Amino acid sequence: MKSIDDENGHLLRTTTMSRGLGRHGGFDELKERVMTDVVLSALFAVIVALCLAMIVGLYCWGRHAQIFSPDAAAQPMIVETAI
């Protein structure tokens, strides 16, 4: 006959992990890990390059087509003369 402790005992046991945390079982080979690192590094480099291109494009566009109008005090007043 089973005791109550035997039924509840399996819930309190700790489990051990054979692999390191964060490692997927399918990526045990060194070549697969290297390829994954290369692909992720290339993806990061592409994202950084796109962000830099966007910033430079916005800067150049802003120099040619001003987003904010210049201050009124910086420009001389244009007075219309009635003829």
Flag whether 39 is in a domain.
yes
pLDDT, the chain, mean: 75
Judge whether 83 lies within some domain: no
Average pLDDT of the residues in 47-58:
96
Q: Is 78 within a domain? A: no
| Residue 57 included in any domain | yes
What's the pLDDT tens digit per position in 10-48?
555 666 555 555 555 555 688 999 999 999 999 999 999
Does residue 52 lie in a domain region?
Answer: yes
Instruction: Confirm whether 43 is domain-assigned.
Output: yes
- Token couple for 70: 């210049």
C-alpha to C-alpha distance for 7 and 20, rounded to whole angstroms: 31
Report how many domains make up the chain. 1
Task: Give the range of the structural domain holding residue 38, as residue numbers without chain letter.
Answer: 27-66
Q: Is the Cα torsion angle 24, 49, 65, 75 positive or negative in sign?
A: positive
Query: What does pTM read for this prediction?
Result: 0.47
Q: With beta carbons less than 8 A apart as the criterion, state whether 58 and 67 touch.
A: no
Is position 11 within any domain? no
Inside any domain, residue 72:
no
